[in-house]
Structure 1
Amino acid sequence: MVSYTLAVVKTNNKEQRIMKDIDHKLSREIVNTAKAHDISVIKLERLQNIRSTTRTSRKNNHSLHTWSFYRLATFVEYKAKLAGIEVEYVDPAYTSQICPISGRIQHAKDRNYICRCGYQTHRDLLGAINICNSTEYIGNRYTA
């Protein structure tokens, strides 16, 4: 029983090291891409309580619960700061449901979003467009 427990702990530790390495590489890629395109602000979704609000299948449940959103955001923040790039957080509500043309809120069917105004795109791209175009009132200023 002890050897089984030790094996599980070792596996979990290895998985955490791999995930941390992936977060470092991904955050570096995000910041390098921003620098290459002269981007001064990186916008991230504010993903608090994502684990409790997301519905997942059994197959995806483990990957959702082992990924550290906070750690990735922290890595992006400190690497962006070193590069002179600001990081802003955006409310993720409805980002993949709001048409950037008409402003209508409509659920995407499957992976594609089709608005009544005729606009259509992949829902992940729609979310990225809406995050990019978002403005929020933070403190005493608007972000864009």
Structure 2
Amino acid sequence: MKNKEQRIMKDINHKISREIVNTAKKHKAKVIKLERLENIRSTTRTSRKNNPSLHTWSFYRLAQYIEYKAKLAGIEVEYVDSVYTSQKCPQCGNIHHAKDRKYICKCGYHTHRDLLGAINICNSTEYIGNRCIA
């Protein structure tokens, strides 16, 4: 069963990475930014809902696939610091924890927490390298 699961995850990672690179090409992006997720398993809260999928997902492999497919397409991959990406308001810079999946800042800015993270990664100037593991 474990080999079957690994093959399925490898296939999913290939499909996700291809979609990411194809989307970047479609929008003529020159850079794909990713969070450096070195200690994701030890820093996330565990729950019955997330635990099995989080601990079997190969973040490193997905990042490698994105890197090599992006390189073939002439797109650079940069890694940014993941600190506060889903907690920092892109308008006022205020940092606070979101309730549920909704992020509402004191300044009035509101969005989905995952979209907030993507916005902050895109706008990040905290460049920490162009390789998955330094």
* Partner residue in 2 for 1:28: 18
User: In 1, distance between residues paired with 2:14 and 2:127?
Assistant: 30
* Partner residue in 2 for 1:18: 8
**Structure 1 59/120 Cα, relative in aligned 2: closer, same or farther at 3 Å?**
closer
* Partner residue in 2 for 1:55: 45
**Structure 1 35/92 Cα, relative in aligned 2: closer, same or farther at 3 Å?**
same
TM-score (norm. length: structure 2): 0.93
User: In 2, distance between residues paired with 1:26 and 1:83?
Assistant: 15
Q: Give aligned-pair identity as a percent.
A: 82
TM-score (norm. length: structure 1): 0.87
Q: Tell me the amino acid that sits aligned with residue 62 of structure 1.
A: P
Q: Deviations over 1:29-72 (max 9, x none)?
A: 00000000000000000000111111121232111111000000
Which of 23, 32, 46 matches 1:42?
32
Q: Tell me the amino acid that sits aligned with residue 112 of structure 1.
A: K
Higher relative contact order (CA 8 A, sep 6+): 2
User: In 1, distance between residues paired with 2:59 and 2:108?
Assistant: 34
Relative to its length, the structure with more helix (as a share) is: 1
Which of 99, 105, 121 matches 1:131?
121
User: In 2, distance between residues paired with 1:80 and 1:26?
Assistant: 12
Q: Tell me the amino acid that sits aligned with residue 129 of structure 1.
A: I
1:28-107 paired onto structure 2 within 5 Å: 28-107=18-97
Larger Cα Rg: Structure 1 or Structure 2? 1
Name structure 1 gaps, 5 residues minimum.
1-10, 140-144
User: In 2, distance between residues paired with 1:127 and 1:137?
Assistant: 15
Name structure 2 gaps, 5 residues minimum.
130-134
Q: How many residues align?
A: 129
> Hey, which bits of structure 1, 4+ residues long, moved more than 2 A?
136-139
User: In 1, distance between residues paired with 2:28 and 2:20?
Assistant: 12
**Structure 1 137/58 Cα, relative in aligned 2: closer, same or farther at 3 Å?**
closer
The Cα of 1:108 is off from its aligned counterpart by 0.5
* Partner residue in 1 for 2:109: 119
